[in-house]
């Protein structure tokens, strides 16, 4: 029995930092994420130095690859991660272009100018997409992209000082699927952030300042208020590392939400200290000013034991978080709710086989009448064989019935990934065939993509059935130029040759508001120019 328990502990879970995407379209404009053992919503996050409030910006993929590559959830005393420091003089420019079905057209361009003490980077991104039923076509007309964004990054270091800063603008002008005529979303986001580090004798000072502003207009039949929604969010984080190994920190934050239905201004301060003892890291603190009157405390625990062929990790965090404005009752005692997250992770690697696991427990709220408990488990298995080829399977299961877990039931992703060398190794092909599906989805789960909140579904027509999909992607590297081909939902694409399949087996409806998804075929080219 003991051996069985040990085996199960190694097999229970997906690594929590891995995210599961549930797209509402194949173009990357809208969707939701399961990460860190629950549905990702109403949480602040960073992309490098950029700060995002997370009230309506819950799907990082919308903002382009340069944002998703640096996605990092905000945590207690967690500063945005430094990007890599250059070690030589170099100029790197590139473009990444995709074109596909339903007017899909996506382009990212970038340039980095580097020397050992400084780096300047520029990114530009745009996405055009009509949607498979034309639901992304803006009712106001025009041929502008449904999203475009711009970003500049700067970093420098000299002697005992380091600095990294970013600024970005993100513009959405998109239609929205509605019952009769397309709705619309006009969204304008400005974000900036700066991290500064300096050594003061034996002390180290780290400072982060982030600012986020969003100006959003939505017209949709489900919205009683069709006026602009404004969010202003700021954060200042100051930390001192002292020779004894203790970290002291202070975080000051504010959030202003304004529309016809909500007018809320919050300010709060977190005071904390942290200490590492061997494999154990501890952090504790308190939230003051506009704190949650019921439970203003915060903590973070991390224990990591590295074994000869694996690891064991135990984590726990707890912190007050501002309520989503659409769920904030003015009659409540506080505009904050408490979230706690605990997880046991484990992994083992033997030969070409690796297994990683997670068992996570998330709790929203601390009042007995409002507690929401979210329990996840799963497994991440990978087998590598013959020259870079691998097969893998990822399984996660929500063991409770809470809508805040994402209502996925059991989600499975399995695939084959490998590399081919052709024409005397002058052409390298990266091939990936994978399938994904769900079992026992919760009929009670719903997600409002307009307000970006989960809700308890009571409409039988909005129940999402389980589906199984097959996808393929190939990338050919020809003398440094990467040519790609991708097809989502292969069974729908070959439906003309699959007379035995019913229509409801080759179409997937990811959300009650969005139309069923068929196929999506894309061609792309990526070209880097290094000097």
* SS3 annotation, 69-115: CCEEECCCCCCCCCCCCCCCCEEEEEEEEEEECCCEEEEEEEEEEEE
- Give the pLDDT score at 12: 32
* Pair of tokens at residue 519: 């196929």
Q: What is the number of other CB atoms lying within 10 angstroms of the CB of residue 518?
A: 20
- Give the pLDDT score at 181: 87
- Give the pLDDT score at 423: 67
- Give the pLDDT score at 266: 92
Q: Judging by beta carbons within 10 Å of its beta carbon (0-12, 13-18, 19+), is residue 448 exposed, middle or buried?
A: middle
Please list the rounded mean pLDDT of every run of 10 residues in the chain (531 residues): 32 47 93 90 96 96 94 90 87 94 95 92 96 91 89 94 97 92 94 96 95 95 81 97 93 91 88 94 88 76 92 94 88 85 93 92 70 89 89 93 90 92 76 94 93 93 90 90 94 67 74 92 92 72
The pLDDT tens digits of the residues spanning 63-88 come to 999 999 999 998 888 899 999 888 88
- Give the pLDDT score at 249: 95
The pLDDT tens digits of the residues spanning 306-365 come to 988 999 999 999 999 999 998 888 777 788 888 999 999 999 998 889 999 999 999 987
pTM, full prediction:
0.91
- Give the pLDDT score at 57: 95
Give dist(CA 141, CA 232) in Å, integer: 30
Spatial contact of 404 and 42, defined as CB atoms under 8 Å apart: no
* Adjacency order of strands within the sheet including 20-23: 20-23, 31-35, 38-39
Give dist(CA 321, CA 317) in Å, integer: 12
- Give the pLDDT score at 496: 57
């Amino acid at each position: 029995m003991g051996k069985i328990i040990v085996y199960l502990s190694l097999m229970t879970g997906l690594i929590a930092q891995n995210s599961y995407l549930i797209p509402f379209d194949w173009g990357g404009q809208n969707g939701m994420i399961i990460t860190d053992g629950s549905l990702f919503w109403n949480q602040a996050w960073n992309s490098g130095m950029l700060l995002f409030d997370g009230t309506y910006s819950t799907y990082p993929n919308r903002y382009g690859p340069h944002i998703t590559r640096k996605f990092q959830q905000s945590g207690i005393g967690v500063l945005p991660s430094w990007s890599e420091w250059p070690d030589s003089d170099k100029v790197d420019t590139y473009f990444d272009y995709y074109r596909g079905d339903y007017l899909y057209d996506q382009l990212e361009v970038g340039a980095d100018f580097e020397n050992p003490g400084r780096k300047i980077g520029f990114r530009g991104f745009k996405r055009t997409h009509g949607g498979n039923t034309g639901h992304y076509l803006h009712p106001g007309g025009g041929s502008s992209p449904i999203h475009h964004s711009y970003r500049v990054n700067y970093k420098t270091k000299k002697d005992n000082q380091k600095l990294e800063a970013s600024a970005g603008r993100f513009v959405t002008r998109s239609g929205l699927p509605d019952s009769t005529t397309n709705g619309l979303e006009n969204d304008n986001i400005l974000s900036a952030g700066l991290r500064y580090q300096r050594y003061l004798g034996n002390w180290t000072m780290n400072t982060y300042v982030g600012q986020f502003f969003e100006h959003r207009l939505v017209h949709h039949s489900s919205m009683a208020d069709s006026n602009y929604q404004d969010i202003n969010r700021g954060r200042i984080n100051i930390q001192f590392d002292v020779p004894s190994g203790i970290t002291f920190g202070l975080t000051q934050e504010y959030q202003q939400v304004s529309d016809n239905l909500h007018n809320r201004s919050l300010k709060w301060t977190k005071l904390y200290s942290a200490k590492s003892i061997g494999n154990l890291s501890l952090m504790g603190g308190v939230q003051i000013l506009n704190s949650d009157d019921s439970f203003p405390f915060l903590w973070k625990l991390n224990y990591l034991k590295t074994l000869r062929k694996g690891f064991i990790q135990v984590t726990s965090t707890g912190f007050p978080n501002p309520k989503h404005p659409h769920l904030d009752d003015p009659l409540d005692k506080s505009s904050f709710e408490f979230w706690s997250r605990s997880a046991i992770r484990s992994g083992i690697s033997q030969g070409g086989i690796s297994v990683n696991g997670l068992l996570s427990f998330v709790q929203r709220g601390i009042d007995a009448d409002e507690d929401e408990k979210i329990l996840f488990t799963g497994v991440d298995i990978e087998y590598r064989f013959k020259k870079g080829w691998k097969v893998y399977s990822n399984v996660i299961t929500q063991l409770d019935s809470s809508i805040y877990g994402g209502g996925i039931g059991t989600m499975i992703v399995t695939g084959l990934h490998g590399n081919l060398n052709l024409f005397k190794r002058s052409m390298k092909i990266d091939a990936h065939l994978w399938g994904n599906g769900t079992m026992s989805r919760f009929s009670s789960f719903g997600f409002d993509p307009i307000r970006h909140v989960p809700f308890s579904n009571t409409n039988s027509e909005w129940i999402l059935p389980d589906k199984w999909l097959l996808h393929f992607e190939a990338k050919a590297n020809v003398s440094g130029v990467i040519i790609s081909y991708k097809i989502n939902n292969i069974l729908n694409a070959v439906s003309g040759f699959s007379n035995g399949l019913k229509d409801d087996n080759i179409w997937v409806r990811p959300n009650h508001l969005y139309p069923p998804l068929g196929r999506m075929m894309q061609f792309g080219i990526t070209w880097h120019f290094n000097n």
